[in-house]
Structure 1
Amino acid sequence: MNLVGHLECFVAVAEELHFGRAADRLGMAQPPLSQRIQRLEKELGTRLFDRSSRRVALTASGRLLLEEARDLLDRAGRILTVAERAGDRATLRVGIPEDLDGAVVASLIGTFRDVRPDLPLELRPALTEDHLRALADGTLDVGVLRHPCDTSGLALGPMLGEPLGALLPDGSPPAAAPELRLADLEGHDLVVPRRGNSSAALEDLLASCARHGFVPGAVHESPHPQFTLGLVLAGTAVALVPRTPAAPGTVWRPLLGAPLLRRTSCAWRAGAPPEGPIADLIDVTTRVLRTEAAMTPVPHRVVLRPSSGFLA
């Protein structure tokens, strides 16, 4: 039996108390997850969950196992990290957003090479949800995360923010003003980057737009910046993006008062403070984001936004 894999499944179900949500979190189908839990229960000789059509609850045995399982998974992650560091060719693995600008990527690689020329850096572009799973299972050392997202079990570096502005068709009525209010975009559709399995960031963005008078007629998910550009050029949609050179046929306008920020931070598994190469990587990544992407520190607050129900 793959004990670590089965315990990861157990912890996910124990924390979600819902097999469907746990399967989504683990990136697997529900039937194999149920089979893994059944095999674990058979191997241990005890029921871990009380199941009914309405609810899933931990048994007394399940509650006893949960803390031990979390501790074992933490230790397994540390063992994997130590083993990889002991290899002939240690590599630091950092997850980056798919939309990170090319100049930022180049600067990140070059700056880290200057600091640690002996240590290769492996960049893994993916969605934040994928980075969260990889950080949890120890296959990433550091993740550059877009917020809001579930950061339980993670430590965070400085929170950095990029003001968002409006990318809209050149010649449209709002484009005539040097700065816009969000309410000036009323009547337009909105194009947003694809979000994977997480809706938290989208819900947070839409709630902020609504508070400032912009409720888009429709929301379109875009898999690629060129698709976003195409929808904007079509004349009915706008995108809310950081300052960027506008393509022919479009203009970028800042928003009065900077009501929208794209928040980003480095994250790593919680525990001992980062040291050595990991600390160097976090420092380099934060510095590069502040200089190359013109991000600025924002308050590291965690508060519930009543209008959206998501964390700010």
Structure 2
Amino acid sequence: MDLLAHLRYFRVVAEEQHFGRAATRLRLAQPSLSQRIQRLEREFGVRLFDRGRGGAVLTPAGRLVLAQSETVLDAADRLQSVVGRLQDGEAGTLRAAVPAHLGGAAVAALLTAFQERSPGGELDLRELTTAEQTAELAAGTLDAGIVRHPCLAAGLAFGPMLHQPLGVLLRANDPLAVEPEVDLRALTGRALAMPPRTNSPALHDETLTACARHGFTPTAVRTVEGLDFTRALIMAGADLIALIPAPPPEPGTAWRPLTGHPLSWRTSTTWRAGHDGPAVRVFADAADAALRTHAGMYAASAERPRAARPETEFAL
């Protein structure tokens, strides 16, 4: 016996207090409905209705069953709704990641927007490098992320490309700190603080190539992790600088834009190709809005069309 179905029939009879009206509402023949209620009574071992010419009146046992059945049926409806959203990708936990140096305001805005747009879903957000994200996406242990380009593109799909200009972080008493902007060539003779190349090999190499193209080749590359550590090293070392997006102001260091904006980080959301369910789309939309509003990113006015490339190549 389908208990839930029989409880639904029972509830309609209780609401109508009449087998004929209940049968019409349920689009069943009255004898068929009567048989189903009798089957439910046999299952529970009690009489649920007093039947008469005036209709069907709940017995004391029937009133108790009705009260409990409301709880059971409401829970069943909620469960069915949750399962349906899980199947559609609208509920459950989305495993996502963001890169370092994204900024607290952008991350907070992303979390808030996701919760508002997907109230039935949860976001398990971690901080991972671009290389870690592409590896976990390929392994199926990550559902979506925010990566910096160029990066390995095999098997991945990407959202709109956003640009974030880089400037130079230097000591507050550096002679260049008095300038409104700094030409890359003026950094000649300086050492450059950069994240480990393993974090994003292609981006690391592209940055050094772009610097050389604009007249700056660092005397050395100092591997650093984290903004606070980077600031500390810059304050302690007269010739050390970093090329990063505008950070929050902090005593002891100064950030200046680069003349002509020769360097920028290109950032986008990403997910496994063919796995862009509703939760992934909500994440991508929330991330795009957060990056534009709180991380100073913008879309290029005219992006180059991307030609088809072998999967082993980078997305440029």
2:111 alignment partner in structure 1: 109
Shift of 1:127: 1.1
Query: What are the equivalent positions in structure 2 for 1:61-210 lying under 5 Å apart?
Result: 90-196=92-198, 198-210=200-212
Query: What are the equivalent positions in structure 2 for 1:145-294 lying under 5 Å apart?
Result: 145-196=147-198, 198-234=200-236, 235-271=238-274, 274-294=276-296
Matched letter for residue 265 of structure 2: R
Q: Give the total of aligned pairs.
A: 225
Specify whether residues 281 and 237 from structure 1 end up closer, same or farther in structure 2 by C-alpha distance, changes over 3 A only.
Answer: same
Give the share of equivalent positions with the same residue, in percent: 43
Structure 2: runs of 5+ lacking an equivalent: 1-83, 308-312
Shift of 1:302: 5.1
User: SS of the residue aligned with 1:190?
Assistant: strand
Specify whether residues 93 and 311 from structure 1 end up closer, same or farther in structure 2 by C-alpha distance, changes over 3 A only.
Answer: closer
Shift of 1:194: 2.7
Specify whether residues 197 and 111 from structure 1 end up closer, same or farther in structure 2 by C-alpha distance, changes over 3 A only.
Answer: closer
- How far apart are the structure 1 equivalents of 2:246 and 2:228? 16
Deviation digits for residues 188-210 of structure 1 (CA, Å, limit 9, x no counterpart): 10001234364211110000000
Matched letter for residue 276 of structure 1: P
User: SS of the residue aligned with 1:120?
Assistant: strand
Contact 1:93 1:141 in 2 (8 A): yes
The alignment's C-alpha RMSD in Å is 2.6
Matched letter for residue 156 of structure 1: F
Specify whether residues 301 and 244 from structure 1 end up closer, same or farther in structure 2 by C-alpha distance, changes over 3 A only.
Answer: farther
Q: Which runs of 4+ in 1 moved over 3 A?
A: 84-87, 300-303, 309-312
Contact 1:103 1:292 in 2 (8 A): yes
- How far apart are the structure 2 equivalents of 1:124 and 1:103? 15
Contact 1:148 1:201 in 2 (8 A): yes
- How far apart are the structure 2 equivalents of 1:138 and 1:85? 18
User: SS of the residue aligned with 2:151?
Assistant: coil
User: SS of the residue aligned with 1:106?
Assistant: helix
- How far apart are the structure 2 equivalents of 1:169 and 1:128? 28
User: SS of the residue aligned with 2:271?
Assistant: strand
- How far apart are the structure 2 equivalents of 1:86 and 1:279? 12
1:76 alignment partner in structure 2: none
Moved more, 188-197 or 229-238: 188-197
- How far apart are the structure 1 equivalents of 2:304 and 2:145? 17
Shift of 1:99: 2.5
Shift of 1:300: 5.3
Specify whether residues 311 and 185 from structure 1 end up closer, same or farther in structure 2 by C-alpha distance, changes over 3 A only.
Answer: farther
Moved more, 215-224 or 242-251: 242-251
- How far apart are the structure 2 equivalents of 1:260 and 1:164? 6
Specify whether residues 118 and 149 from structure 1 end up closer, same or farther in structure 2 by C-alpha distance, changes over 3 A only.
Answer: same
User: SS of the residue aligned with 1:240?
Assistant: strand
- How far apart are the structure 1 equivalents of 2:149 and 2:268? 8
Shift of 1:153: 1.2
Contact 1:98 1:125 in 2 (8 A): yes
1:8 alignment partner in structure 2: none
Matched letter for residue 250 of structure 2: A
Deviation digits for residues 73-130 of structure 1 (CA, Å, limit 9, x no counterpart): xxxxxxxxx9x8699x720111111332111111111111111111111102111111
User: SS of the residue aligned with 2:249?
Assistant: coil
Shift of 1:269: 1.0
Deviation digits for residues 185-238 of structure 1 (CA, Å, limit 9, x no counterpart): 111100012343642111100000001111110001112212211121122100
Structure 1: runs of 5+ lacking an equivalent: 1-81, 304-308
- How far apart are the structure 1 equivalents of 2:218 and 2:95? 38
